[in-house]
Amino acid sequence: MKVHTYEKAFLAVGAVVLVACALALVYATVVHGIHLPDVSGRVDPANVAATPPFDQPGVYQRGPDEYEAVVIGRAWSFQPTEIRVPAGAKITFTATTTDVIHGFNIEGTRLNMMLIPGQVSKNTYTFAEPGEYLLICHEYCGLAHHLMHGRIIVVPAGTDVPLVNGGAVAADAAESAAGDAAHVNH
Amino acid sequence: MASVTSVVLRPEGYDLPAGQRRVLRWTIYIGYAALIAGVFHGLANALSYAGISILGWFPGLSTYYQGLTAHGVANVLFFTFTFANAFLPLMTGRALARPLNTGLLWASFITLVLGNILTIYAVVGNHASVLYTSYAPLQAHWTYYLGLVLLVVSTYFALANMIMALVGWKKANRGERIPLLAYISVTSYVMWLLASLPIAVEFIVFLLPWSLGWRSHVDPLLTRTLFWFTGHAIVYVWLLPAYVSWYALIPRQVGGAVISDSYTRIVWILFLLLSIPTGMHHQYTDPGISNAMKAVHGVLTFGVFFPSLATAFSVMAALEIGGRRAGGTGLLGWIRKLPWKDPSVLAQILAMLTFVLGGATGLVNASFSMNQVIHNTTWVPGHFHMTVGTAVALTLMGVAYWLIPYLSQRRLFGNGLALASSWIYTIGVLIFARGMIDGGLHGMPRRTFMAEANYRSPAWELPGILTGIGGTMMFIGVMLFFAVIGLTIVLGKREGAPQDIPVSVTLTAPAKDGWEPMLDRLGIWVVAAIVLILIAYGPFLIGYDVVPVSTGFRLF
């Protein structure tokens, strides 16, 4: 098979680019510690509310500058709806769903996970700056999917974060989301 | 210049029996009917991002997500597969200069129609607003799952038809190389046969019995993984009929030639090997799958980009040969000499150019860190409206500009309209994708009824408007396409209709000895593909503890 010189050159450059892409993937993982959600345990979706840590959704301090946010997704709200975390600390988000597949995406960050019934989703993120971020369910989950969102409030480092926050707010929000859903449904 | 060889057995002509011509034509019309329904919903979906809801104008439509389900199922499942079901067997029969099996053509057509009716019943009745990905535990009516199973069965009949033609041809032509056009057409659907098995298991073993109440629970991560096991390869099944046109037909249409026979076959073998073991890059953000497995799929995904790079070179080289033969000189002078006024060529060149952007954005999807920024944002539909939505759809429209005249024996009516359609569509998709990609980088969620969402970000404002404008232009482009097709069928002149398909020639003939005939031994390559699939999916499937935890939810 005769292959033209230009063609060889084109394919060689292409191959180098693709190998570089693959190496970049390895580099991001090993050197920068950018991990994807991994195998992080199971939970029975019918029993989420009775299974630790999901029996107490909220934010917990797990070490100096280390927090865990435990979140439940269900049609069509997050619990807690409002999550307060300090800037500069390593936050582990631990989440699951009680019903269908939901998304868990914090706008403007790379914190992006799927919540799949039966599975525990986990990933970590450090917010550099204080501010407010949308927490969006970005997987279709039924009629009122477009109402399902929450808020991450990043407070300045050193501010006291109320541990286990947002429970009451969540209940209200779930109710109002359900009301909105009924409205959409006519 | 090397000797010129045809990519078909008998370049001088081919008689397609009138009965077969009719079945093939109607198979394609079924796909067009789906596409018409699909693009109306597409318009509504795009306008929603601009904050405009036109759902009230759709009689019988209950929700945005019902329309989005119709959009996906009609456009990427029914439209693409009906076209391939007609196009690939026709190309195979033509290349081998053999008639197809009329019984199998009918079997494929009838299962397709039945599948269509069942799926339409489920979707139109709002019994199946689960989107085309059909993720459990959202549960559709059983007619939806059965309808899609029948669609897949119709593709098997089409493949059987091609295999029969090939086997018959081989008996009569021992020791001959398979004509190139037949080789690439058959290999496209052989890959699909392998790729379709996981989704067949998902639907037949799990979702269908579950929707009928014969099975109470399913494991959502398992069914989702089975979906993507098929789901990435499926995009190549949509793409390969377009590649068949780009490689084997377009060179003839521009007066060029296929640059290499073996090179083309290698591209198809790479697709056969690498399309399937890459599906987990759609599941990067899923729990329950290890980072190691995801990395294997990530690297293989970069691998399957390679045959598309090779295609970029070959196809552009074929165009350049045509442009230079038409008198083009200098580095870029040949571009001006291409037949830009030929609607079939224009549509496909614009499809190729858009595919450059589609491919580049696809590489981003495969990267671990970038994927986490854009997963399930509008970036993704921005990307795939440039791949399946343009590289494939616009190419199939371009092919239709000679194929419908050929099958209906009427001359194309409305050359100018057809040219306008392609330009409007392409400019539209570029605006649309610019909006979606920009919004996606700022976290704008896909598959979401933004017009009525109770949250917003200022960064989505302009992207949403661009999405609406671009989507409207794409809609107008497709409507002009249908106007041309409709006018052709009704008003096209009988005389001067194309009597044959535009079959190209190659610059280098297929070698009869050496290693190259190995390329024709598809069985060996299928075994190699299975080995790669086992490497990529084996560890997960063996190690995964299936726990059926989910009953069905009908939240729509």
pLDDT in tens, A47-95: 999 999 999 999 999 998 999 999 999 999 999 999 999 999 999 999 9
For testing the chain A interface, which of B262, B270, B274, B455 should be mutated: the one with the most A CBs within 10 Å?
B455
A184 burial (CB, 10 Å; 0-12 / 13-18 / 19+) is middle
Name every chain B residue with its beta carbon within 8 A of the beta carbon of A27. none
The shortest CB-CB distance from B285 to any of A24, A37, A180 is to A37
Helix (H) or strand (E) holding A131: strand A131-136
Return the pLDDT at A184.
36
Name the closest residue on chain B to residue A47, using Cα atoms: B549
Check if the beta carbon of residue B445 is closer than 8 Å to that of residue B378: yes
Looking at the predicted structure, is the pLDDT value of residue A19 above 50? yes
Active site residue B385: yes
Could you list the pLDDT tens digit for every one of the 556 residues in chain B? Answer: 445 688 999 888 899 999 999 999 999 999 999 999 999 999 999 999 999 999 988 888 999 999 999 999 999 999 999 999 999 999 999 999 999 999 999 999 999 999 999 999 999 999 999 999 999 999 999 999 999 999 999 999 999 999 999 999 999 999 899 999 999 999 999 999 999 999 999 999 999 999 999 999 999 999 999 999 999 999 999 999 999 999 999 999 999 999 889 989 999 999 999 999 999 999 999 999 999 999 999 999 999 999 998 999 999 999 999 999 999 999 999 999 999 999 999 999 999 999 999 999 999 999 888 999 999 999 999 999 999 999 999 999 999 999 999 999 999 999 999 999 999 999 999 999 999 999 999 999 999 999 999 999 999 999 999 999 999 999 999 999 999 999 999 999 999 999 999 999 998 888 888 899 999 999 999 999 999 999 999 999 999 999 999 999 999 9
- Residue from B286, B300, B305 whose CB has the most chain A CBs within 10 Å, to mutate: B286
User: In the 8-state DSSP scheme, what is residue B283?
Assistant: G
The per-residue pLDDT for A102 is 98
CB count within 10 Å of CB A11 equals 16
Find tokens 């890059």 and name the residue: B281
Residue B508 pLDDT = 83
Q: Are A37 and B368 within 8 A, CB to CB?
A: no
Q: B181-230: per-residue pLDDT in tens?
A: 999 999 999 999 999 999 999 999 999 999 999 999 999 999 999 999 99
Residue A29 Cα to chain centre, angstroms: 18
Nearest-by-CA chain B residue for A16: B306
> Nearest CA to CA, how far is B96 from chain A (Å)?
23
Partners of residue A34 in chain B, C-beta under 8 Å: 368-369, 372
Instruction: Return the pLDDT at B2.
Output: 42
In this complex, the residue of B262, B313, B367 whose CB is nearest that of residue A21 is B367
For residue B419, give Cα distances in angstroms to B163, B468, B471. 37, 23, 19
Q: Calculate how close chain A gets to B306, using CA atoms only, in Å.
A: 7
pLDDT of residue B60: 81
Asked if residue B350 lies in contact with residue B400, where contact means CB atoms within 8 angstroms, the answer is no
Of A25, A26, A116, the CB nearest to B224: A116
B312-317, Cβ contacts within 8 angstroms, sequence gap of 24 or more: B312/B352, B312/B356, B312/B359, B313/A6, B313/A7, B313/A10, B313/A11, B314/A7, B314/B247, B314/B258, B314/B259, B314/B260, B314/B263, B314/B264, B314/B267, B315/B246, B315/B247, B315/B250, B315/B352, B316/B352, B317/A4, B317/A7, B317/B259
Active site residue B383: yes
Q: What integer best gives the mean pLDDT of chain A?
A: 86
Residue A180: which of B309, B454, B511 has the nearest Cβ?
B454
DSSP of B462-485, one letter per residue? HHHHHHHHHHHHHHHHHHHHHHHH
Give dist(CA B339, CA B285) in Å, integer: 45
All residues of chain B having their beta carbon less than 8 Å from the beta carbon of residue A125 are none
Higher confidence at residue A8 or residue B187?
A: B187
Please report residues of A whose CB lies closer than 8 A to that of B289.
38-39
Burial grade of B19 (CB within 10 A; 0-12, 13-18, 19 or more): exposed
pLDDT-derived band at A165, boundaries 50, 70, 90: low
Alpha carbons within 13 angstroms on the beta-carbon side of residue B413 total 17
State the burial class of residue B262 (Cβ atoms within 10 Å of its Cβ: 0-12, 13-18, 19+). Answer: buried
Residue A27 has pLDDT above 90, yes or no: no
- Asked if the model's pLDDT at residue A181 lies above 60, the reply is no
Using the structure block, give the residue that is written with the tokens 């496909």: B348
Task: Assess whether B232 carries a catalytic annotation.
Answer: yes
**By CA distance, what is A1's nearest residue in B?**
B262
- At residue A164, the pLDDT reads 66
Q: Which element (helix H / strand E) includes B266?
A: helix B261-274
Cβ–Cβ < 8 Å for B468, B495: no
Tell me whether residues B313 and A39 touch, CB distance under 8 A.
Answer: no
Lookup result for tokens 């997987």: A139
Q: What is the pLDDT of residue A179?
A: 44
Choose, from B87, B236, B475, B537, the residue flagged as catalytic. B236
Distance CA A120, CA B384 (A): 30
How close is the nearest chain A Cα to the Cα of B300, in Å? 9
Residues of chain A above pLDDT 90, percent: 63
Taking only the tens place, the pLDDT of each residue in B489-526 is 999 999 999 999 999 999 888 888 889 999 999 999 99
Can you give the pTM of this predicted structure?
0.94
Examine the residue annotation and report whether B247 is marked as an active-site residue of this protein: no
What local confidence, expressed as pLDDT, does residue A1 receive? Answer: 64
* A161 pLDDT more than 90: no
Measured CA to CA, the distance from residue A135 to residue A112 in angstroms comes to: 10
Q: Distance between CA atoms of B369 and B491, rounded to whole angstroms?
A: 54
